[in-house]
Chain A
Amino acid sequence: MVLERPLVGIGSCPCASFYPSLSIKSNHCLCSLFTAGTLIGFDASGHIAEETKNASYVAARGILLGAVATAVCGFATTILFLFCTPDLDTLFSLSAPQPFVLIYSMALGRGPSVFMTALAVVGLILVSLPSTCCIRPH
C-alpha cells in the first residue's frame, strides 16, 4: 500500500520538512519560531551595557537599532530564501540536519558552499563572543 498523505505545512515554509511527523498546528508553531529565530540577539547590546559609557542612552539605542536592522534584513533574507529554495519535492528529499548547506551546495557548487558555510560558522562564533568575554572572573 502506497502511503500517500499531504506533507504538512502552512504557507510555504520550507522548514516544514523538518517535522514531518507532527500535526499541522505543531508545524505552524515550530515554523513561526524558526523564522522568529532571526530576531534572536537584537538585545545583545544590553548584555554589555555594564561596560558601556552613557549606557542608559547608548544601550537602549543599540537595542532599538538592532531590532530594526534585524527585522529589515531578516525579512529581506526570508523572502529571498523562499524564492531561492529548490522545488518542494527536492527540498523535502534533503535529509541533512542543516539543509541550507545542501542548498548552497546545489546553487553555488562545492567550494563556494564550503566558504559560505564557514562564513556562517565564524559569524556565529563571533556573535557568541561578547557573552564569552563578559564573564567576570574576579
Chain B
Amino acid sequence: MHCVDDLCRGQLPGYNVVFAHLQSLTLDLEYSKLYSVPAGGMGDRLPRGHYAQQYQVARCHLGRVRGSATHHHCNQLPPSYVQFLAYLATASYHHTARVYSFVFKFAAGLMMVDFLLCVIWLPIGVSRTYGFRSASEVFTQTCAFNKLCRVPY
C-alpha cells in the first residue's frame, strides 16, 4: 500500500473504481490506529506521548500536502485531510475540556474587543476619510424612492 501513492493512483485506469472500496477499508483500519483518541471522560488527561505521536502525524500530513514523493520523514501512513480534521474535532473534546472556562472568557473578551473597536475605531476612520452620512440620508432617503440610480451591472 505504501508503494501506491497519489501520483500513480491517478494514472491507473479503473483503479479507483475497483480498489477504492478495498483500500478504504484498509485505510480505515490504519487511520483508526493512527488517530485513536484514548477513551476516557471529559477532561481526562491524555497519555504521555500522545502529543508527540500526533506531531508526527501532522508532519506526515504536511509532507503529503507539500507533495513530497517519499515520506522519508515519517514511518507511517500519511493521513488524509478529512481524517486530520476529524482528529482535530474529536481531540478538541479532550484538549479543551480543562480550559473550557478560559476559552469561553477569552472568546467573550474577544467579542467585546471587536465590538468596542467597531464602535470607537470605525467612526474615527470614517470621519477621517469619507465622512458620515447625514441622519436624513440614513433614515429617510432610499435609492428607490428619492432618485434614480443606474444599475451598476
A binding-site residues for B, Cβ under 8 Å: 2-12, 16, 20, 24, 51, 73, 76-77, 80, 82-90, 92-93, 95, 104, 106-109, 112, 116, 119-120, 122-123, 126-127, 129-130, 132-138
Kindly list chain B residues whose C-beta atoms are within 8 Å of the C-beta of A120: 114
Kindly list chain B residues whose C-beta atoms are within 8 Å of the C-beta of A86: 130, 133
Query: Is there an interface contact between A89 and B149, defined as CB atoms closer than 8 Å?
Result: yes
Query: Is there an interface contact between B117 and A116, defined as CB atoms closer than 8 Å?
Result: yes
Complex Cα distance, B133 from A6, in Å, reads: 20
Interface of A is mostly: helix
Complex Cα distance, B114 from A120, in Å, reads: 7
Interface of B is mostly: helix
B37, B125, B151: which contacts A107 (Cβ < 8 A)? B125
Query: Is there an interface contact between A106 and B114, defined as CB atoms closer than 8 Å?
Result: no
Query: Is there an interface contact between B42 and A5, defined as CB atoms closer than 8 Å?
Result: no
Answer yes or no: B143 CB below 8 A from chain A CBs.
yes
Sample of 15 A–B contacts (CB below 8 Å): A3-B150, A3-B151, A4-B151, A5-B151, A7-B144, A12-B142, A51-B42, A85-B133, A95-B152, A123-B114, A126-B107, A129-B107, A137-B90, A137-B93, A138-B39
Closest to A83 in B: B132
Query: Is there an interface contact between B122 and A108, defined as CB atoms closer than 8 Å?
Result: yes
Query: Is there an interface contact between B107 and A108, defined as CB atoms closer than 8 Å?
Result: no
Closest to B122 in A: A84
Q: How many residues of B contact A (CB 8 A)?
A: 46
Kindly list chain B residues whose C-beta atoms are within 8 Å of the C-beta of A123: 107, 110-111, 114
Given contacts A84-B132, A88-B143, contact A6 B148 (CB under 8 A): yes
Kindly list chain B residues whose C-beta atoms are within 8 Å of the C-beta of A10: 142, 144
Query: Is there an interface contact between A133 and B93, defined as CB atoms closer than 8 Å?
Result: yes
Query: Is there an interface contact between A127 and B107, defined as CB atoms closer than 8 Å?
Result: yes
Answer yes or no: B96 CB below 8 A from chain A CBs.
yes
Answer yes or no: B27 CB below 8 A from chain A CBs.
no
Kindly list chain B residues whose C-beta atoms are within 8 Å of the C-beta of A5: 148, 151
Closest to B150 in A: A4
- Residues 76-124 of B contacting A (Cβ, < 8 Å): 89-90, 92-93, 96-97, 100, 103-104, 106-107, 110-111, 113-115, 117-119, 121-123
Complex Cα distance, B90 from A3, in Å, reads: 55
B37, B118, B137: which contacts A80 (Cβ < 8 A)? B118
Complex Cα distance, B88 from A137, in Å, reads: 12
Given contacts A9-B143, A12-B142, contact A20 B107 (CB under 8 A): no
